Chain A
Amino acid sequence: MRMFLAIVVCKLLRFIGKLVGKGSSLPGQYALKVCPDVLRRVKLPPYIIAVTGSNGKTSTVEMIASILRAAGKDVVYNAEGSNQIEGVTTLILSRSSLTGKMKGDVLLLESDERYAKFSFRYFHPTHFVITNLYRDQLTRNGHPEWVFESILPAIHQDTTLVLNADDPLVSRFAQGHDPEKVKWFGLERCSISTDTPRGVYDDGQRCPVCRGRMVYSCYHYHHIGHYHCESCGYHRHEPDFAVTELDLKAGRLVIGGDTEIRLSFRSIYNVYNILSAWSVCSLAGVEKSVMASVINDYILKNGRMVRFALGEHHGVLLTSKHENSVAYDTNLDYICATEKPCTVIILVDAISRKYFTGETSWLWDIDFDRLSCPQVEKVVLCGKYVNDLAMRFDYTSVAPEKIVCYDTAGQAAEALKAAGGEDLYVLTCFSDRDKLLSLTTRED
């Protein structure tokens, strides 16, 4: 009876919410008050796929949904990004019959790293994809090992873990888990691999299990690569699903030695997103040909990459979460792969759109030296924290005469509009991007 009431309350509030344009958490919140364990009582679809990790959750979930739908499956997922328990409850109950049976073949959830343990208290995923763990939003997350400890209680013994074999911290989730229920994905040594770490810091130096010294036979980016610990033997697992060839410049990768995929977005992130989506969709029984047809030239539709015009310039805005140096580094690599002369604009005004912080330590973790290349002719720094940015650049190899500073995005845009026609690349966060985009003409 309580379940029935909870479902009615949720559906009713969701209906009203949609009329008045309110968010998706509230109906679930009230439903949980009526019946706290409603998610245990509802009959869920045969596949429940969850995705968590520091980066790539939303993109991966969207790719998985596209593939599964192309394979004819009815997929329900939290496209609105409500990835805490209340939002998940709203999603499930609004798709459930009054007798408590959820419609659909697959429930697909983007899961917040810190809240997964609450979401999965009353049910658990059949498949749990964990993409990566690295320095991300210390103001909320503390540090990667703290996030690891937060995710751990969300893992049920019956869940099949789909893990990034190349991330030593993510791989630790397999410890104590039935090996039959762990599937690995990874990137074999390829054109982008290096023998030494790149970047300002190296989080792969110490073993996450015993703190001994780790040795890498190759690095793909940051601490993602092929590693083993000299002290305890902890090591990368052979992947069940592997990218066997990769040519980022040509926009081409090969999965499992036989399936070639064209990349519309030539970023290492996209490679891992594709591979993790491929892995879990394979496990859900989707044919290779179906997956390949969806992934080929797959274009992200989540607004992380926006094309615009400003005066005579054409530009690309790359959303790089502030407080996430790996995201910045990856986008810096993307910019440096360009061969045409360009100007790079970095805007740090509000560090987060969700909370206040004045924390700028993360700027010192970004490898801005990557902009010290001939095609980057100018670097425009702007926003409230322009002085922090300028100071950071004083400690890079980027020539001082290339750097121009403005207090606001508006001043920067005005100056750029007035002169030149070179390509522009903007690096900023969701919190700040509209401050610049609103002054441009969208070209997407």
Chain B
Amino acid sequence: MELTLLHLYPDAMSLYGEYANLSVLRRHLEALGVTVHLEKVTCENVPDFTRADLVYMGAGTEGAQKAVLLGLPHHADALRDALDRGCLLFFTGNAMEILGRSVTDAKGRTWNALGFSDFTTVETDKRTPGDVIATSTLWETPTVGFMNKCSTTSGITTPLFSALPLGFGNDAEHGAEGYALGNILATHITGPVLVKNPDFTDLIIRRLFAAKGWSLPEQLPVLPHEREAYAVTLRELQARLK
């Protein structure tokens, strides 16, 4: 069993520990006996999605995201072809915004995005970094994390999280967050969200195995410290809610 994970533009889109999402995913997959190929595509390179089973892009600064918006739409067709053949797209932080129709910056300039969905994003000159508890639509347990954004995203009808008991959603405090449709999973949660949420990692593993038609063991691997770390963060954030 072999899988190729493609990390798109880590040289530009790396705000805080994004790489660790793929480190953790890789270790879980290896525990299941999968040989993992991790490929990094920097901004100078033309991405080759033909072998990718998962394409990941993390958060960047607003400036870095605009540079990606200038380049990546040229490869939109190739990325869509990959999606159509079952490749999973996992975008976090403001990489999520790139999946929509457009991003408008705080000065009012609009940038065309990939157009994989009709949602649009508008940046503001206010930043709202903060802890997050999110109610997942695709798995049971709450998701914990941190969001570091200065934008609102409108027009999403299929969010990844139905509500944020703690935090600012796509366009409202406590509102729905992220985007999930078909093979696309996206959230504005920043940084190593999979490190903090083993159930989120498991969901991605299930998706990857399903796409390949591989069968999974009933019990997915539980790696040391992950569940305990998750429990502490969830407890601390929930105490904050009260």
The interface of chain A, by Cβ under 8 A from chain B, is 135, 138-140, 142-146, 200-202, 205-206, 208, 211, 213, 356-365, 384-385, 387-388, 390-391, 394-395
Given the complex, which residues of B lie within 8 Å of A211, measured CB to CB? Answer: 12, 43, 63-64, 67
Q: Which of A358, A384, A394 counts the most chain B CB atoms within 10 A? A: A358
Q: Which of B44, B63, B64, B192 counts the most chain A CB atoms within 10 A? A: B63
Contact pick for B131, options A145, A359, A395, CB 8 Å: A359
Residue of A nearest to B71 (CB): A211
Shortest CB distance B194–A (Å): 11
CA A361 to CA B229, docked complex, whole Å = 12
Contact pick for A395, options B20, B42, B240, CB 8 Å: B20
CA A359 to CA B196, docked complex, whole Å = 10
Residue of B nearest to A388 (CB): B229
A139 and B146 contacting across the interface, CB-CB below 8 Å = yes
Q: Which of B49-57, B175-183, B231-239 contacts A (4 or more CB under 8 A)?
A: B231-239
Q: Which of B79-87, B108-116, B220-228 contacts A (4 or more CB under 8 A)?
A: B220-228
A361 and B11 contacting across the interface, CB-CB below 8 Å = no
Given the complex, which residues of B lie within 8 Å of A364, measured CB to CB? Answer: 16-17, 19-20, 191-192, 195
Q: A138-B129, A139-B129, A385-B232 are in contact. Are A360 and B196 (CB under 8 A)?
A: yes
B17 and A394 contacting across the interface, CB-CB below 8 Å = no
B150 and A206 contacting across the interface, CB-CB below 8 Å = no
Contact pick for B43, options A213, A358, A362, CB 8 Å: A213
Please tell me if B208 contacts chain A, counting CB pairs below 8 Å.
no
Please tell me if B127 contacts chain A, counting CB pairs below 8 Å.
yes
B232 and A142 contacting across the interface, CB-CB below 8 Å = no
Interface string of B16-29 (1 = CB under 8 A from A): 11011001100100
Given the complex, which residues of B lie within 8 Å of A146, measured CB to CB? Answer: 61-62, 127, 150
Given the complex, which residues of B lie within 8 Å of A135, measured CB to CB? Answer: 16
A206 and B131 contacting across the interface, CB-CB below 8 Å = no
Q: A358-B236, A395-B20 are in contact. Are A143 and B15 (CB under 8 A)?
A: yes
CA A385 to CA B229, docked complex, whole Å = 7
B16 and A365 contacting across the interface, CB-CB below 8 Å = yes
Residue of A nearest to B144 (CB): A358
Which secondary structure characterizes the binding site on chain B?
mixed
A361 and B131 contacting across the interface, CB-CB below 8 Å = no
The interface of chain B, by Cβ under 8 A from chain A, is 11-12, 14-17, 19-20, 23-24, 27, 42-44, 61-64, 67, 127, 129-131, 144, 146, 148, 150, 190-192, 195-196, 223-226, 228-229, 232-233, 236-237, 240
Contact pick for A365, options B17, B24, B224, CB 8 Å: B17
Q: Which of A139, A359, A360 counts the most chain B CB atoms within 10 A? A: A359
Shortest CB distance A144–B (Å): 8
Given the complex, which residues of B lie within 8 Å of A140, measured CB to CB? Answer: 129
16 other A-B residue contacts (CB within 8 Å) besides A384-B236, A391-B224: A139-B130, A143-B16, A145-B62, A145-B63, A146-B61, A201-B14, A359-B191, A360-B233, A361-B16, A364-B192, A364-B195, A385-B232, A387-B226, A387-B229, A388-B229, A395-B20
Residue of A nearest to B15 (CB): A143
A363 and B131 contacting across the interface, CB-CB below 8 Å = no
Given the complex, which residues of A lie within 8 Å of B150, measured CB to CB? Answer: 142, 146
CA A359 to CA B130, docked complex, whole Å = 9
Given the complex, which residues of A lie within 8 Å of B225, measured CB to CB? Answer: 387-388, 390-391, 394
CA A96 to CA B70, docked complex, whole Å = 54
A394 and B224 contacting across the interface, CB-CB below 8 Å = yes
B12 and A387 contacting across the interface, CB-CB below 8 Å = no
A362 and B229 contacting across the interface, CB-CB below 8 Å = no
Residue of A nearest to B228 (CB): A387
Residue of B nearest to A357 (CB): B131
Given the complex, which residues of A lie within 8 Å of B24, measured CB to CB? Answer: 395
Residue of B nearest to A213 (CB): B44
